[in-house]
Amino acid sequence: MDISVGDELAGRIYMELYADVVPKTAENFRQFCTGEFRLGSTPKGYRDCKFHRIVKSFIVQGGDFLNSNGTGSMCIYRDPNSGKLLERFPDESEGLNLNHDRAGILSMANSGPNTNGSQFFITTMPCPTLDRKHVVFGKIVENLSEVGESASTPSLDVVRKIESVMTDQMDRPLQ
């Protein structure tokens, strides 16, 4: 995931998704990362999406590509009966059993149980208070040989650049 801070490219965040543990959550995130998910012919996803909530020494949160302020959410899944696109999808219990035990954990942002959509966060330190409340679906990868690419800036350093952005009293970035 390529990240800019302001108008400057901060670097790329490499991620490992736990598709074997939480396949629906990982696939939802993957399709929004690649732009593969479309409404009609229009791709929907994280391209040009900002991190709308930055809580220092806790998390950076993004994924609201609908409203850019934390109020928008959607997912790739449809109601099996009506075919209507769903805003949210249920928790995968295996992901609730994984811990937010270090910086670089990828997890679903939610407004309560079974309210996963497009919003996600990355921890910037261990956050045990989030355990069993948010589905963990991946982690930041620092060993780039795992993904077969090289980077000039390590992934966690890119997350730290996001975290260093000035925010207002509501944790919204000022740039």
pTM listed for this prediction: 0.91
Predicted local distance difference test score (pLDDT) of residue 148:
54
65 is catalytic: no
Predicted local distance difference test score (pLDDT) of residue 150:
54
Choice among 37, 89, 121, 137 that is catalytic: 121
Using an 8 Å Cβ cutoff, are 173 and 14 in contact?
A: no
Among the residue ranges 21-25, 127-131, 162-166, the one predicted with the least confidence is 162-166
100 is catalytic: no
130 is catalytic: yes
- Of the chain, the percentage scoring pLDDT greater than 70 comes to 94
Cα 12 to Cα 60: distance, rounded to the nearest angstrom: 15
Choice among 61, 98, 106, 137 that is catalytic: 61
Choice among 110, 119, 120, 137 that is catalytic: 110
Predicted local distance difference test score (pLDDT) of residue 4:
77
61 is catalytic: yes
Read off the tokens for 144.
């780039």
Higher pLDDT, 149 or 163: 163
Superfamily of domain 2-163: Cyclophilin-like (2.40.100.10)
pLDDT class of 1 with cuts at 50, 70, 90: confident
58 is catalytic: yes
Predicted local distance difference test score (pLDDT) of residue 155:
82
Tell me: pLDDT of 132 over 70: yes
Q: Which tens digit of pLDDT belongs to each residue from 21-70?
A: 999 999 999 999 999 999 889 999 999 899 999 999 999 999 999 999 99
Considering the chain, what is the average pLDDT of its residues? 91
134 is catalytic: yes
Choice among 30, 52, 53, 100 that is catalytic: 53
